[in-house]
Amino acid sequence: MKSLAVYCGSATPSDPVYIETAKQVGQVLAERGITVVYGGGRLGLMGAVADSALQAGGKVIGVIPEALVEAEVAHRGCSELHVVPGMHERKKLFTDMSDGFINLPGGVGTMDELWEAISWAQLGYHQKPVGLLNIAGYYDHLIAFNEHMGAVGFVRPQHRGILQVDATIHGLVDKMAHYQPIQTIFAMQTKDL
């Protein structure tokens, strides 16, 4: 993996574990020679990942919609900063420029990015790993819900392994590096659906 899209919040939660872990993510990815492709903001977890990766000598590519340049206070120190018309173009560029996706804690926008990455993998728009960094149990309920969707039958058995989960960045990146692409819906026969 040469580049990873990192999805995370632009907020700064009061518990320092989130910012500290975001900094660690940026540093570890830079040390592994992995380019960070992220939302282009300089605030919150987004800014912490970018600043840490840059300080460690890594490459950081920001992708930010025109309407959010001022609202998210675009990070002008990125190796590259792409300003795009809207959110659809942003997520498409994330997919085009990365070899996988890592999700740190965040809010609604981060959830949107996570589920779209998983959905696109199921369908076959990409066959890249989707990782969830479960910092301080932040995603425990989401992980349980994802398992529940599979148990009920809304996620096919062959798609239940798309989401790679770990509590450490080293463990998550290692899992993602060994990810085996799944049988996509586009490749399935009608009888398999």
Cβ neighbors of 17 (< 8 A, separation 6 or more) are: 135, 136
| Angle value at C-alpha 146, between 9 and 40, nearest 5 degrees | 20
Tokens of 44: 């919150």
Give residue limits of the domains in the chain.
3-192
Architecture of domain 3-192: 3-Layer(aba) Sandwich (3.40)
190 pLDDT above the threshold of 80 = no
187 pLDDT above the threshold of 90 = no
Q: What tens digit of pLDDT does each residue of 145-158 get?
A: 999 999 999 999 98
Q: What tens digit of pLDDT does each residue of 85-111 get?
A: 999 999 999 999 999 999 999 999 999
Query: Minimum mean pLDDT among 59-73, 84-98, 137-151: which range?
Result: 59-73
Mean pLDDT of the chain: 94
* C-alpha span between 96 and 82 (Å, rounded): 13
Confidence category of residue 72, pLDDT binned at 50, 70, 90: low
Q: Look-up: residue for tokens 């018309």?
A: 85
* C-alpha span between 123 and 135 (Å, rounded): 28
Tokens of 39: 């939302």
Confidence category of residue 7, pLDDT binned at 50, 70, 90: very high
Pairing of strands 35-38, 60-65: parallel
Contact yes or no for 1/28 (Cβ under 8 A): no
Torsion-angle region of residue 9: left (phi > 0), alpha (psi -120 to 50) or beta? beta
Confidence category of residue 14, pLDDT binned at 50, 70, 90: very high
Q: What tens digit of pLDDT does each residue of 155-177 get?
A: 999 899 999 999 999 999 999 99
